[in-house]
Chain A
Amino acid sequence: MGETVINVLSWILLLTGGAFGVIGGIGLLRFPDFYTRLHAAGVTETLCAILIVLGLMLQSGFSLLTIKLLLILVFLLFTAPTATHALARAAVVDEVEPQLAEGNEDVTHPSRGEPSSNT
């Protein structure tokens, strides 16, 4: 009984993670400019990793494999947002233009080339 519940929960987590991965991939391919693509990739990447690794951890119970999966999850949760942040910051410094809506063509960039924080 408990075994079945854990299995079904694991399947749901795995398939949801796979679905989020595909959604992020489609967004990465279809979105119009760099920053929206970064949004699609960066957000779904983290959630996809969390769901799939949690689903796998439920499969193996408490073992060395689970601990290593937990380490992978921690590394991914630290490095994926850091890489996304570094990419966004490099693009802003390099003055990659965001694609604006039709009515906003005359909006001036108050801080072009100078990110507001120095982190």
Chain B
Amino acid sequence: MTLVLVLTTMAIFATMALALVRALRGPTIYDRIVAVNVFGTKTVLVVALITYITGHHDLIDVALVYALINFIAIVAVLKLAKMRDLAGAGAGAGDITDG
């Protein structure tokens, strides 16, 4: 039983390593964001698996919160990369060079 859970965790870790390579290498900013998105989703699954491996059932709340935060973070980073500004509607996108 635990063997299957550990094997699945290892497979997810391998996926996270591949996503990390793509995040470091990716030619465009969007490649990096996709890779970080995959990394975050796989983190949720790893935390859920670790919950079952260790038997600490409280850990599942961590996975639940991480699933929510991951989505917000991806959308926020996407907007920041696109608009260069999180607050405005992006009217001056491209004009703002510093601060």
**Interface on A for B, CB 8 Å cutoff?**
7, 10-11, 14-15, 17-19, 21-22, 24-26, 28-29, 34, 37-38, 41-42, 45, 48-49, 52-53, 55-56, 59-60, 64-65, 68-69, 71-72, 75-76, 79-80, 82-84, 86-87, 90-91, 93-94, 96
Contact = CB atoms under 8 A, between A and B. Distances in A.
By DSSP majority rule, is chain A's interface helix, strand, loop, or mixed?
Answer: helix
Interface string B44-77: 1100110110000100110110011011001100
Contact of B11 (A21, A41, A56, A76): A21
A18 B11 contact: yes
A45 B18 CA distance: 13
Interface of B: 1, 4-5, 7-8, 10-12, 14-19, 21-22, 28, 30-31, 33-35, 37-38, 41-42, 44-45, 48-49, 51-52, 57, 60-61, 63-64, 67-68, 70-71, 74-75, 78, 81-82
A48 B71 contact: no
B45 A49 contact: yes
A72 B41 CA distance: 11
Contact of A15 (B8, B22, B38, B60): B8
B30 A90 contact: yes
Contact of A14 (B8, B16, B41): B8
A90 B74 contact: no
B52 A28 contact: no
A96 B30 contact: yes
Contacts of A18: 7-8, 10-12
By DSSP majority rule, is chain B's interface helix, strand, loop, or mixed?
Answer: helix
7 contacts: A19-B11, A38-B34, A48-B42, A56-B49, A79-B67, A79-B68, A93-B82
B71 A82 contact: yes
Contacts of A56: 48-49, 52
Contacts of A90: 30, 78, 81-82
A25 B60 contact: no
B48 to A, nearest CB: 6
B71 A28 contact: no
